[in-house]
Amino acid sequence: MKASSSAAPTVLISEVGPRDGLQSVRATMPLAAKCAWIDALAAAGLREIEVGSFVSPKLLPQLADTAAVVRHALRHPGLTVMALVPNLQGAQAAAAAGVHKITLPVSASAAHSLANVRRTPQQMLDEVRAVLAWRAEQAPQLAVEVGLSTAFGCTLQGAVPEDEVIALAEALAEAGVDEVGLSDTTGMAHPAQVRRLFTRLRAAIGDKAGAAHLHNTRGLGLANALAAWDVGVRTFDASLAGLGGCPYAPGASGNVVTEDLVFLFEAMGVATGIDLDRLIAARAPLAAGLPGEPLYGMLAEAGVPRGFVPATRIPA
């Protein structure tokens, strides 16, 4: 899949496996293995990686070494190093470690919000405002985004009214968040819903409309990604080998598989900037760091079609 010219990426694939994936498995990947995995992801051309989260190690011992992972990831020039933080204290720790971007988990479902961060959506909105006030004073270079969890439905609450999702997104944008994305935390979304809600989001907050974070729980992950693309979404979260799922949302299984999503876009002629051969190879350090953990993905099983020419043509 090598060629003599290159195409500028037109879509951003944000790899969330080192955070979303590792928080959902019982085993703890050793620090050296995490670093080797991130090195392989960066070598494949990933331009943004969520490398961990700054939460209490009592809650997520799998991610207790996130500061060390951040320091390693920062060695890769041009890589946006991102981490999840649940509150101001986490934001301060992330900034001290050197991350470029933080993401805060604000849930549109009150039931999920209480289970996940022990705060109501309104309390989380207040927490986001506190983070933004601190950023203005102490860390103006830090990017702040919010992924609106359970935007398409919640296994605890059930249906989540779309008007409430959009109202919360508008409040976050008005507060000063750089981007607000929508997350199908529980894998309940379908393409018509994705198309409708992202259209409303873009109409409500304009260029602050952010990423699509989709799960493949019911087999609709790629269909939903295509629906989001059709209405203008250009940033997508994905997890290598489909690892992931919220531990506080029952039944919320794997994220969209990074390899399959990249292949979808490349086959459509949409450049991702990612080398598929190297991306598939990045499964090896993941498997080595989590021996016995199930890995998913159709592309890794079937392989790249004979004669396939990707939109991203990596110079030889």
Catalytically active residues are: 246
At 199 the three-state DSSP class reads helix
At 42 the three-state DSSP class reads helix
CA atoms within 13 A on the CB side of 6: 11
Integer Cα distance of 163 and 167 in angstroms: 6
Angle at 267 between CA 265 and CA 269, to 5 degrees: 70
Integer Cα distance of 72 and 272 in angstroms: 24
Task: From residue 240, give the alpha-carbon distance in Å to each of 194, 207, 219, 281.
Answer: 22, 28, 16, 11
Cβ atoms 203, 257 nearer than 8 A: no
Instruction: Provide the sign of the torsion angle of the four alpha carbons 91, 81, 38, 254, taken in this order.
Output: positive
Instruction: Provide the sign of the torsion angle of the four alpha carbons 275, 278, 283, 286, taken in this order.
Output: negative
Integer Cα distance of 197 and 215 in angstroms: 16
